[in-house]
Amino acid sequence: MRIMVPVKSVAVPDEEFELTSDGLDIDPDFLDFTSNEWDPFAVEQALQMVEAAGGEVIVVTVGGKEAEEALMAALAMGADRAIRVDIAVAGFDPLAAARHLAGVVAREAPDLVLCGVQSSDAAHGATGVALAGLVDYPHIAVVKSIASDPAGYLTVGRELEGGVVQQMEIRLPAVLTVQSGINDPRYANLRAIKQARGKPLEVVDPASSGLEGAAGRGSGPRLRQIYELKDRASAEMIRGGPREVAERINEIIAEALR
């Protein structure tokens, strides 16, 4: 079984940071990069499935050199090889990232794609679902358990509101977005981290590799501004009966809209 796991390096700002002059990002000098919170669960699930049935685990990311942080972490966990689509950071546009990932899926033809359910920076939760649509794979989101079937099906437990789990069956190839808690991601020791540096890490240019067409044109949301929330005045405790409270709330809203 060939399993592909898209991963992401997310930027973590320092406690004291500055914005770029155009107000569209945080100054890179004030950023550190780490693996997305949900991705290790997807990588661990892929490793367990391959260990049980054979095959390989491929991790892929979209972005610049800083995006390799997440790839190296996944390789240290045990992934076999890595691919980085070398473009500017996809930022807050999950559709653009999905288009580039779709090109890699078309080239590699994995039996299964496992994504983290969302990213810990933008938290759209849309990339995996958009990818499934672009490559025409069936998909299930917010997956809490996976069991394989020799006939080429997966039995999947999907998390719903209120702790309810919906059991579903899906035929491969497919895309699943994995929720945290599905497993306990393994710890990469120092030896595994050193070995990861010797594993294949392919950097592809969409313009010259044939992936550009798969990525398509256009985008989803457009980033307009990033700004730091200013401290506000202390809260006002509203006392009185329902009428008095409602009247005061109405006054506060009117004042804020002036």
For residue 255, what pLDDT is reported? 86
Which among 53, 161, 62, 73 is positioned nearest to 102, based on CA atoms?
62
The domains of the chain, with CATH numbers, are: 2-215 (3.40.50.620)
Task: Give the separation between CA 20 and CA 7, rounded to whole angstroms.
Answer: 26
Span 162-221, pLDDT tens digits: 888 899 999 999 999 999 989 999 998 999 999 999 999 999 988 765 565 444 455 566
Task: Give the separation between CA 48 and CA 124, rounded to whole angstroms.
Answer: 27
Three-class SS of 140-194: EEEEEEEEEECCCEEEEEEECHHHCEEEEEEECCEEEEECCCCCCCCCCCHHHHH
Mean pLDDT (the chain) is: 86
Task: Tell me which DSSP letter residue 234 carries.
Answer: P
Compute the radius of gyration of the chain from its Cα atoms: 22
| C-alpha 155: how far from chain center | 23
Residues in the chain: 258
Mean pLDDT of 151-169: 88
